[in-house]
C-alpha cells in the first residue's frame, strides 16, 4: 500500500493524493491480474464448482466451464420464470385483499397457490395468432427481445458474497444499461402488431422509459459514491454488520434518494401507477393487445423479472444486500458451528451455509420490494402522461441531482453528516473489505517501472 492511502479515507484525502501523485513519478496503481477469477468470459466467482468438476470428476477444462455456464443459466432462468409464477399468484392475492376479496382460492388446495400454473397451461394451449396487418418477423421476435433484456441483467447480480453469474467491476452500470433495453421489445411489439393501440402504448412506454433513465442513473450514483466501487459484491459487503451500516441510513441524501430510486424503478419497469403503455381504459391492452398464448406470457415474465431485478438491486444498494439486520449468521451461528465441529470458520461448508442464508436474505428483501410495488399498484390510480413526465422532470430529476450534490458534500465533510449511526460501524469489519478498483496498489511496483515513469515525467517537464 502506498503511504497515506487507506480504503476508508474521505474523498478529499484521496483527491489530494491524486493530484500529488504524478510528482512522485511512479504509476498510481498497479492492477492485479484477475485472470484467476475471470477466465474465458465464463466465470463463477471463486471457481469452486469448476475446480470440483476439474479436480474431483476429472473433467477437461472446457467441459467444466461449459457445465458451470449451463448450470448458472439454468438457475437464473428458473429464478426468473419461477419468480414470475409466484409473483403473478401473489399479485392476485394482494389485489384481492386490497379490494376486499379473497383472490384465487381453489387450485392447488389452500390459497390457490397453483393458480398461475393452471393459467400457464391454459396459455400454452392457446392459439398463436399473428394478425394480418402485423410484421410477422418482428411480431414473433419482440417477446424474446424483452425477455432476453430482462434476463441479462441477472447475469451481473450477486445473490450472496461472490455468488454471482459474472462478477463485473461495473455491475451497477451494466444492470442499469440492460434494464433500459427491455423497452426495445415493447416498441417492436407495438410497431409490429399493426394496431393503433399497440403503437400508442409502445410510444408512451418509450417516452417514459427514456426519460426515467436519467433520474435512475443519478440515484444509483449515490450508493456507488458511498461504497467507492461499482462492483455490487463490494457494495454489498461494505454493509456488513448491523442494519445501521446499511447505506440507506448512511446520510440524509442516501435516505431521500432511495425513495426517488424506488419511484423511478417502478416507472422504468412500467408498473402502475406508471403503466400508461397498457392503460386498459384507453388503449385496450397497450403494446400486447394483439398477443396471445405463450408470447404474451413472455412479456409478463420479462415484467416480473425486471421488477424482481430492480428490487434486488435496491436491496443491494440501500438495504445491505445479503446481510441481515443483525449479524446472527456470520458472527453468531457460523463461529458457534465452527467451535462445535472444530472446523475452521472459512471451511467450505460453513461458507456455503452462510452464503445460502445470505441468498435467502437478499431474495426475501427483493420480494418485499416487489410486494410494495404491488401495494402501490393496487392503491394509486394511474397517472396521465403529462403527470408522468412532470413527476420525472420536475420532481425526480431535481431531487436526485440535489441528493447527488449533498452526497458529494457528505463525502467531503463527513463530520457534518447528521446521521452518525453509520459511523458506529457495529459489527462490521469494514476496513478489511477489499475495493478492487481504485486506490490500492495491488502488487509491488518494479523498479524499472518507477525509473521509466520518472524519465517520462522529467522529459515532459523539460518539453
Partner 1 sequence: MIGAVIDWSAFLFYLFAAVACGFALAVVLSNHIVHMAFYLTLALGATAGLFLLTGSQFVGAMQFMIYVGGTLVLLVFGVMLTAQHRFVSIRTRAGEWITAAVLGGALLMLLGYVAWAVPDWHAAPPAHVPPEQVESTSRLGLALTGVRMDGGSGYALPFVIVSVHLLVVLIGAGYLARARVRVSDAAARKEMP
Chain residues that interact with partner 1, rule: CB under 8 A: 18, 21-22, 27-29, 31, 33-35, 37-42, 60-63, 65-66, 135, 137-138, 141, 168-170, 173-174, 176-178, 180-181, 183-184, 187-188, 190-192, 199, 202-203, 206, 210, 213, 230, 436-438, 453, 456-457, 460
CA dist., res. 412 & res. 9, Å (int): 10
Please, which residue, 171 or 383, has the CB nearer to partner 1? 171
- CB hemisphere CA count around 5 (13 angstroms): 19
Shortest approach of partner 1 to residue 142 CB, angstroms?
9
Which CB, 229 or 245, lies closer to partner 1?
229
Q: In angstroms, what is the minimal distance from the CB of 214 to partner 1?
A: 11
Nearer to partner 1, 216 or 363 (CB): 216
Phi and psi at residue 81, to the nearest 5°: -70, -45
Cβ-count burial 284-320 (b if 16+ within 10 Å, e if not) = bbbbbbbbeeebbbbbbbbbbbbbbbbbbbbbbbbbb
Asked whether 309 and 328 are in contact (CB, 8 A), the reply is no
Least distance CB 190 / partner 1 (angstroms):
7
Closest CB to partner 1 among residues 210, 336:
210
* Mutual angle of helices 196-227 and 293-318, in 10-degree steps: 20
Estimate the crossing angle of helix 136-152 against helix 182-192, to 10 degrees. Answer: 170
Nearer to partner 1 (CB atom), residue 89 or residue 439: 439
What is the DSSP track for 389-428?
HHIIIIIIHHHHHHHHHHHHHHHH-GGG-S-THHHH-TT-
For residue 249, give every residue at least 6 positions away whose Cβ sits within 8 Å of its Cβ, in sequence order, or none: 243, 255, 419, 421, 422
Query: DSSP label at 180?
Result: T
Residue 362 CB, shortest distance to partner 1, in Å, is: 22
Pick the closer one to partner 1 by CB: 384 or 423: 384
> Considering beta carbons, is residue 66 or 105 the nearer one to partner 1?
66
How far is residue 126's CA from residue 446's CA, in Å, rounded to a whole number? 68
Measured at the CA of 155, the angle between CA 152 and CA 156, to 5 degrees, comes to: 115
Closest separation between CB of residue 234 and partner 1, Å? 12
Q: How far is the CB of 33 from partner 1 (least distance, A)?
A: 5
Residue 259 CB, shortest distance to partner 1, in Å, is: 24
Cβ nearer to partner 1, comparing 93 with 238: 238
8 A C-beta contact, residue 152 and residue 240: no
CA distance 207 to 187: 11
160 SS3 class: strand
Q: How far is the CB of 255 from partner 1 (least distance, A)?
A: 27
- Max distance between CA atoms of the chain, in angstroms, equals 84
Helix 252-268 vs helix 348-379: angle between axes, to the nearest 10 degrees? 70
- Nearest approach, Cβ of residue 346 and partner 1 (Å): 25
Tell me how far the alpha carbon of residue 266 is from its chain's centroid: 14
Nearer to partner 1, 294 or 453 (CB): 453
Amino acid at each position: 500500500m502506498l503511504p497515506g492511502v487507506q480504503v476508508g479515507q474521505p474523498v478529499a484525502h484521496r483527491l489530494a493524493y491524486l493530484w500529488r501523485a504524478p510528482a512522485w513519478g511512479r504509476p498510481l496503481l498497479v492492477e492485479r491480474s484477475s485472470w484467476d477469477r475471470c477466465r474465458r468470459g465464463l466465470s463463477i466467482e471463486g471457481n469452486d464448482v469448476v475446480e470440483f468438476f476439474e479436480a474431483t470428476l476429472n473433467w477437461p477444462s472446457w467441459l467444466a466451464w461449459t457445465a458451470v455456464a449451463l448450470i448458472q443459466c439454468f438457475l437464473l432462468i428458473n429464478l426468473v420464470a419461477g419468480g414470475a409464477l409466484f409473483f403473478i399468484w401473489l399479485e392476485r392475492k394482494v389485489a384481492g385483499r386490497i379490494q376486499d376479496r379473497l383472490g384465487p382460492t381453489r387450485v392447488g388446495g389452500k390459497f390457490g397457490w397453483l393458480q398461475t400454473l393452471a393459467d400457464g397451461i391454459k396459455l400454452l394451449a392457446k392459439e398463436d395468432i399473428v394478425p394480418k396487418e402485423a410484421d410477422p418477423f418482428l411480431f414473433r421476435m419482440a417477446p424474446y427481445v424483452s425477455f432476453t433484456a430482462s434476463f441479462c441483467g441477472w447475469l451481473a447480480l450477486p445473490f450472496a458474497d461472490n455468488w454471482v453469474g459474472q462478477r463485473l467491476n461495473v455491475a451497477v452500470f451494466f444492470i442499469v444499461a440492460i434494464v433500459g433495453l427491455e423497452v426495445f421489445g415493447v416498441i417492436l411489439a407495438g410497431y409490429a402488431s399493426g394496431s393503433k393501440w399497440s403503437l400508442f402504448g409502445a410510444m408512451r412506454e418509450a417516452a417514459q422509459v427514456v426519460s426515467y433513465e436519467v433520474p435512475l442513473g443519478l440515484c444509483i450514483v449515490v450508493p456507488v459514491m458511498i461504497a467507492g466501487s461499482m462492483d455490487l459484491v463490494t457494495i454489498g459487503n461494505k454493509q456488513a454488520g448491523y442494519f445501521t451500516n446499511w447505506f440507506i441510513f448512511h446520510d440524509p441524501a442516501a435516505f431521500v434518494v432511495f425513495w426517488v430510486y424506488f419511484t423511478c424503478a417502478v416507472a422504468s419497469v412500467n408498473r402502475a401507477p406508471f403503466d400508461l403503455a397498457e392503460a386498459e381504459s384507453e388503449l385496450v391492452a397497450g403494446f400486447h393487445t394483439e398477443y396471445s398464448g405463450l408470447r404474451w406470457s413472455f412479456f409478463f415474465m420479462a415484467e416480473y423479472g425486471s421488477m424482481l431485478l430492480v428490487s434486488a438491486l435496491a436491496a443491494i444498494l440501500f438495504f445491505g444486500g445479503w446481510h441481515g439486520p443483525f449479524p446472527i449468521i456470520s458472527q453468531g451461528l457460523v463461529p458457534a458451528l465452527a467451535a462445535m465441529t472444530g472446523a475452521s470458520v472459512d471451511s467450505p461448508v460453513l461458507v456455503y451455509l452462510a452464503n445460502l442464508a445470505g441468498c435467502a436474505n437478499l431474495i426475501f428483501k427483493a420480494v418485499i420490494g416487489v410486494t410494495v410495488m404491488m401495494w402501490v399498484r393496487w392503491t394509486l390510480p394511474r397517472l396521465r402522461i403529462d403527470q408522468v413526465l412532470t413527476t420525472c422532470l420536475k420532481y425526480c430529476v431535481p431531487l436526485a441531482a440535489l441528493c447527488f450534490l449533498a452526497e458529494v458534500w457528505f463525502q467531503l465533510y463527513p463530520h457534518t453528516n447528521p446521521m452518525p449511526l453509520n459511523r458506529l460501524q457495529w459489527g462490521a469489519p469494514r476496513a478489511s473489505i477489499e475495493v478492487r478498483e481504485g486506490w490500492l496498489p495491488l502488487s509491488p511496483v518494479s523498479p524499472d517501472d518507477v525509473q521509466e515513469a520518472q524519465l517520462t515525467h522529467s522529459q515532459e517537464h523539460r518539453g
